[in-house]
Amino acid sequence: MSLFAYQAKDLDGRTIRGMVEAPSRDVAVEILTERSLTPLNLEEKRVNRFAWLAAAQISRIKNKDIVIFSRQLAVMASATVPVVQSLRILEKQTDNPKLKVIVSEIADEVEGGAKLSAALGKYPEVFSDFYVNMISSGESSGKIDEVLNYLADEAEKNYDLTSRIRGAMIYPAFILSGLLMVGAVMMIYVVPKLTAILTEAGTELPFSTKMLIFVSNFLANYWWLFLIMLVVGVVLIRLFVRTPRGKHLWHTIQLKIPIVGTIYRHIYLVRFTQSMYTLVVGGVPLTRSLAIVAGVVGNAVFKDIIERTIKEVEDGNSIASIFSQSTVVPPMLPQMMIVGEKTGRLEEIFKRLSAFYTHEVNTLVTNLVTLLEPMIMLVMGVAVGFIVSSILLPMYKLSGAV
């Protein structure tokens, strides 16, 4: 198979440029003809195909790539650039090899008569059910440019929020990693030399000193076993978390961690309310909106609540009934949803709740960053104090006895 860069005319006389994959030039011409294109120029691209395919398979599509794709497509849609032409432009501008291939295939699908939503739906690992359904609602209402702009705005908000949270975790992660490395060096090389004096003296040692000596000897002599146990433990935990029961347990623990659990809870509430507002405003039925959001909320506990809510709504009950029974959902959420149902302004309620919980997440992240530094200093102080007391106090007693 070879790659051919083509220039062709479509049925409306527009010049189309793109890439086509075919075993020979004649087959490439046939493929273009089947797409109702008249080839003007066809040039075989001399590329290292193995390296190109390997890069396309190995590269990972990040959230940032989808943000840029959505924004650029939204800008071109607002400028009334045809969808196929927009996709061809994005295909050339995209740096990610894997996304470049996907955009090219989507452009081929749309050029062949498929809807944009249907073409995007063939890549669920890249474009979520939420993304595809919003595009579909835009196609139905004739407001595809507005939907694309909205999706781009929401994608940027989500990316910004995720980036802020990750940025807040860099400093404590760096400090804790350094602390663990220094601690390991001390336990393996420094502590054994100090505790050797206490052991040779033959005096009764306190429990903390005995524990320190045991840990130090274990790390010094069996560090390789510790690494194996650590790797095996991480692998087993990851495998368990991938099971439905393990995922539900992990997500339950995640929501109960002090401070961090509150941030996670509010993040999932932002995803729920923001996605529901977008889908309801886009004309997607309520039960269908709930089903879509259940797949994108990102937490097994909230997914279970939403799935049970779908059954309640299908039975004619309130959307807030299951939420009001849950202990992980703040009481304000079901109360506001009840008000939205009674007044017929549920989408506006979701919009206001999304704005409120977004502000809460920003505040909580800022507070967490402020609290982390003294917390880390406290942990370091306790660790250093434990080591010092376990070594120096027995030495002091030993020197006093002498």
Report the candidate in 19, 11, 14 with the shortest Cα–Cα distance to residue 35.
11
- First-to-last C-alpha distance (Å) of the chain: 86
Instruction: Give pLDDT, residue 401.
Output: 55
Instruction: Give pLDDT, residue 141.
Output: 65
Instruction: Give pLDDT, residue 302.
Output: 92
Instruction: Give pLDDT, residue 52.
Output: 46
Identity of the amino acid at 242: R
| Local confidence pLDDT in tens for the 402 residues of the chain | 566 777 888 777 777 777 676 767 777 787 777 767 788 888 776 555 554 455 444 457 887 888 888 888 888 888 888 888 888 888 888 878 888 888 888 888 888 778 888 888 888 888 877 788 778 777 776 777 777 887 777 777 777 777 777 777 777 778 778 878 887 887 778 777 777 777 776 667 778 778 888 888 888 888 888 889 989 999 999 899 888 889 889 999 988 888 888 888 988 898 899 888 878 887 788 888 898 888 778 889 999 999 999 999 998 888 999 999 988 899 999 999 999 988 888 889 998 998 899 888 888 888 877 787 788 788 878 877 887 777 777 777 766 655
What is the model's pTM? 0.66
Instruction: Give pLDDT, residue 56.
Output: 47
Instruction: Give pLDDT, residue 45.
Output: 65
| Angle (nearest 5°) at CA 238 between 232 and 239 | 90
From residue 212, alpha-carbon distances to 197, 386, 391 in Å are 14, 9, 9
Domains defined for the chain, CATH in brackets = 1-47 (3.10.20), 156-402 (1.20.81.30)
Instruction: Give pLDDT, residue 232.
Output: 94
| Angle (nearest 5°) at CA 5 between 4 and 10 | 110
| Buried-state track 221-256, b at ≥16 Cβ within 10 A, e below 16 | eeeeeeeeeeeeeeeeeeeeeeeeeebbebbeebbe
How many Å apart are CA 399 and CA 393, to the nearest integer?
A: 10
Contact 273, 353 (CB under 8 A): yes
